[in-house]
Each structure stands twice: as C-alpha cells, then as structure tokens.
Structure 1
Amino acid sequence: MPLTQASICGDPPPAALVRAVLGALPDLAGENWQPLAGGRSNRVWRLGSVVVKLYDRAAASPLFPNDACAEAGALVRLGPHGLAPRLCAAGEGWVCYTHVAGRPWSGDPAPVAALLAKVHAFSGSGFRQVGSGHAALVGQGRAMLAACQGALPPPPAGDVPPVVRPCLIHGDVVAGNVIAGPQGVMLIDWQCPAEGDAAEDLAAFLSPAMQMLYRGRVLDSGQQAAFLAACPPLLAARYRALAPAFHWRMAAHCLWKAERGAVDYAAAIALELAALARSVEANAHEISQI
C-alpha cells in the first residue's frame, strides 16, 4: 500500500514522517518525495516547493551538533531576512522549509564573506553557547582526542582571549551548506547554530578538510586571500591569530570521525596539520615584521 497518493521516489521516507508532514502541510499530499543528495548527516527530500529533513541523532559530533529544534529556531529568526530558508513546519526530529533554488557554492568567495557578515550582525541569544579564544579551542580539541585511540602533535601555542561580543554563528559553513542561486548566496543546514565567535564560521569555510570532504578540493591561496579580504578587517585578523588552533582542533575532529567509521576523514587529518604548519609560519612572520 503506498505511503501517500504521491509517487515515492528512491529512498522512501518513513511512514511516520509522511503522516506528520502531511498532517502539518496537507496541500503537499499529491507531491512526490524526491531524495536529495549532498548531506552527510541527515536524510532529506524535496516535496513540491519545500524540503523535508529527517535528523539522524547518531550523526552529531562534539564539534557539530545535529539539533532539529535549533535549526527551526534559526530559520524562524533568519528566514524573513533572506539569510536562510523559511520554516514551514517542524516536529519531533524533523523540519520542513522552503526549497532554495541553486547549486552548492563554488567560485568567488567574496559573496560568502558578505553573507556571513549579515548573519553575524544578529544576536546569538537563545542558542547554545560555545567557548572562544585559544584556550577554549585547544580544550575542545583535547576533549575529542581523549575519546580517540590515535594521537596528534601537541597543540600550537597561543594566547588569543575569548571574544568580547559573541554573535549568532552558523556553526557549519561548509561549501555544501552555501547555496548560490538567483537569490544570491544563502546558508542552509542550520543544525549547528550557536552564540559564539564569528571567526568560527570563517574557520569552517577555510578548513581544507571541510572543503575537500564537501567540495572535492581545497581553496587555493588566492581564494583564501579573497575571502579574508572581503571579511571585516578585525575579524580577519582574529581568525589569522587563531588559525593554528582552529586547524589543530579540526584535525582532532577528523580523527574522532575517522575512528568512528568515517574513513574519508582520515586523509583530511593531514590537510589540517599541513595548514596548521603554514598558519604558524605565517603568524611568526607577521610578528617578526612588527
């Protein structure tokens, strides 16, 4: 017996999800459930003019939570401003939001920097709070390593203090979560929002591991420079100072993921450690010029 009067294509949604979504949005009863590719954490379908996301609780990691309620809250706050899709409905472990036309970002990074500046103008009040500054980043990395069999080189030295004015951050600005289309660029997959340091979003976007895993290649030096040049100067400077700690923490995340079956993360560890070495050298050179 079919789940609905619609044709269910490919990966079928659970019957309970179909009932919940159509109970909230009965006008979609005649639409096909079309599986969407690209995500690594959750199951996603296109249903007419909307997207339905079913969360996998096991997909959360210490660095990247996977919170349906947090995503719904972010869409309510940012959807009306064109910075995120608009929330259509939500339930236990799922959300439904407007479909965003376009393709995952690739190319000019300046529009991504401009988009993040708009997001960071919002307060992060009401979302989880994440620690910031060098000591907090190293502590987060050490906590992940404590749950791993493998090891990394010691963390880099640093003394950057916590951010004075935390703001709303997306928390997972990988290339696949930035959609470029007629509307410009927009952020999707808001399952990791937080109140924290805007430099976190810069670090996620510039991470060679995340670029390789989600886009198939890392940013070249010109793209990295163009992105940072399009960011507010003080924020770009803060990111550069924290870059070694960000890369070391991301290497710890990749090790944590690799030891739990995500084998493609193993190769990404070396990318982060190489970027760590380059960022330490760049910071040392900058200090020597003062």
Structure 2
Amino acid sequence: MPYDLELDLRAKAGQSFARFDSLTELVNLLPDQTAPPRDLFDHLRSTGLVDANARFQTLYGGRTNQVWKVLGGDGDKVLKLYRSKLRNPLFRNDAELEARCLNALEPMGFAPRLRATGKHDNGLWVFYDHAPGSPWQSGTTCVAELLRKLHMLDISIEVPAGCNGSADLAHQTQQILNMCLSDQKAQLARMRPDSPVPATNHTCLVHGDPVAGNILVDATGLTLIDWQCPARGDPCEDIALFLSPAMQQLYRGAPLRAAEEAQFLSAYDRPEITHRYRELQKWYAWRMAAYCLWRVENGATDYSAALDLEIAALG
C-alpha cells in the first residue's frame, strides 16, 4: 500500500480500525473510486482547473461525500463531489453554503481558497486549494483560540439559523429520536435533561462540524475545512461538537481527558460563553446520543462505542 494512502487512512478516516485485521482489509471494504467521473474530469481539464496529467488521490476522511486530493498543476487542490442518499438530521450537507464560507473566510485565514464550483449529474461539486497540515490530534488551547476568533468575527454570510437554547435542542433531539426504531430509543427519551436554558441574543457564525478531522494543523497555524453545515447560532454549538466524547472517539480514537477539556474552556477565554456551555452540556450530550443511535441503526457500527460515551456523559 502506498505510504500516502496509508497515512490518509490512519490520520483522516476518523474511524477506529480495531475491527479490521489490516489496512488492506479496510481498503477492500471502501468504494472503488480512485478518480472522479470521467465527464467531470474532462470539464475540469477543459476549463483549465486541472491539467491532463493530474493525479487523483482518494481521501477517506469524509463520512458523506466523495473527496479527492488533486496532485499537480500550480499546487495541490481538493475536489469534493457532494452525493449522499442518507438525509442527515444533525449535519447539513450543502455545497452552496460551503462555497459561500470559503469565499468569505479564506482571506482571513480560516478556510482554504475556493477555485470553482459546479453541478454534475451525481451532485454539486466544489474545487478548492488543498490546505496544508494534518488532522488535529492534541493540544486543545490552539483549537479554543481558533474557535474564539471565528465566533468573534463581525461578518455577514447568508447561512441558516442554528439551534439556540434548550428548547431548540430538545426539538431537534426529538426529531432524531423519531427517526430511530430500536428499543434503545425509549431509554434515551427517558434521559432528557430537565434544566431549561434560554436562547442567547449573542449569536455568531458557527462552523457546525469542528471535529478533529476538520481541523488541519501545520507550522503556520490551524485551518478549518468541510464548511458544508455552517449556521448563525450559539457559539456553544461549536464548543459542544469539538468537546463531544463521541466525536473525539470517532475522529481521534479517544475522548478528551478532563484536564484537556478544562484547558480548552480556559483558553476559549469567554467566561460568559463557557458558563453557558456548561449549563447546556447535558442537552448537547442527549442530542449527540440520539444522533449516534440513529447512525448505528443506519449501519455505522463504529458509532456504538460513541453512543456509550454520550450516555455516560448524561449520567
């Protein structure tokens, strides 16, 4: 197996490989899609976005879309083809929103540079500069500082409204549970938190999916990728998603230690927001537990351990 593919699988897939005997076994289970559709490649070439000798390296980090690293030309690029038959009740998958965010945020250093967008028979696509670095693994201070800076931006991007307050979270969680069928659905319904938290008037742009695999780290700093589910909402959304035991387990292999979480909240350095996050923490854990159950019921078996972690966080 080529070294760069092995690196992608280990660092970007965001999954536990314990249930596979080898990376070869895992690769055999992944879809055989080493290059984009021929007509899409021809379009990219005819418009000068790639040259005839461009090479495509499949990136297995995403859990929804098809993504390729495009090697060659005037620097590496990323081609993302949006195609998902499974409607996700928590993470929106919108190519137009991603394009808007890349256009607005690249000059500020938060996101890669957008090169082009378009429509293909199989779905919309975006083409942008490949961001340097590796997925975040350790050191929560830098992530807290990144999210704080994002949440303090005075910027207007047309994005949907996000969840705000416990009533919104309760409504969304119940919608997810309504999509579940197993006996565990009733158990989770009984675990609903009972401390209401009002909506905040201090909303901001939130990334919506700042998990470890979407935060790239290199010598110059951090870059956020995968902007397909941004919102205008409570900054606690991003905090909760990054700190989520389930998301840390899925994308990094282990939940954060208590000291790492405390360091993050301290480094975020907005006491009024981190206090609010603590008030909402169980509501976020309840929603994530429901989401993990829905994923398990739809065949994502690696979410089973993640579900257990969120249930423990509710205890």
TM-score, length-scaled by structure 1: 0.88
Q: Could you say which residue in structure 2 is the equivalent of 1:119? A: 150
Q: Could you say which residue in structure 2 is the equivalent of 1:79? A: 106
Q: Could you say which residue in structure 2 is the equivalent of 1:22? A: 45
Q: Could you say which residue in structure 1 is the equivalent of 2:167? A: 135
After superposition, the C-alpha distances for 1:68-105 in whole angstroms (9 at most, x for unaligned) are: 11101110010111101110111121101111111100
Shift of 1:165: 2.2
Counterpart-to-counterpart distance in 1, 2:115 and 2:101: 13
Letter in 1 for 2:138: G
Q: Could you say which residue in structure 2 is the equivalent of 1:281? A: none
Residue 277 of structure 2 is aligned to residue 254 of structure 1: no
Shift of 1:108: 0.7
Is this contact kept in 1: 2:191–2:314, CA < 8 A?
Answer: no
Identity value in percent: 45
Residue 275 of structure 2 is aligned to residue 244 of structure 1: no
Is this contact kept in 2: 1:22–1:29, CA < 8 A?
Answer: yes
Shift of 1:124: 5.6
| SS of residue in 2 equivalent to 1:58 | coil
RMSD: 1.6
Is this contact kept in 2: 1:135–1:159, CA < 8 A?
Answer: yes
The 1:219–1:124 alpha-carbon spacing in structure 2 relative to 1, beyond 3 Å, is: farther
Aligned residue among 179, 186, 193 for 1:156:
193
Shift of 1:30: 2.3
TM-score, length-scaled by structure 2: 0.82
Letter in 2 for 1:198: P
After superposition, the C-alpha distances for 1:142-198 in whole angstroms (9 at most, x for unaligned) are: 011011113113311122111202111000011000000122111111111111111
Is this contact kept in 1: 2:243–2:256, CA < 8 A?
Answer: yes
Is this contact kept in 2: 1:124–1:195, CA < 8 A?
Answer: no
Letter in 2 for 1:112: V
Letter in 1 for 2:59: L
Gaps of 5+ in 1: 1-8, 278-290
How many residues align structurally?
269
Aligned residue among 126, 130, 133 for 1:99:
130
Letter in 2 for 1:30: N
Is this contact kept in 2: 1:36–1:44, CA < 8 A?
Answer: yes
The 1:149–1:124 alpha-carbon spacing in structure 2 relative to 1, beyond 3 Å, is: farther
The 1:233–1:25 alpha-carbon spacing in structure 2 relative to 1, beyond 3 Å, is: farther
Q: Could you say which residue in structure 2 is the equivalent of 1:229? A: 266
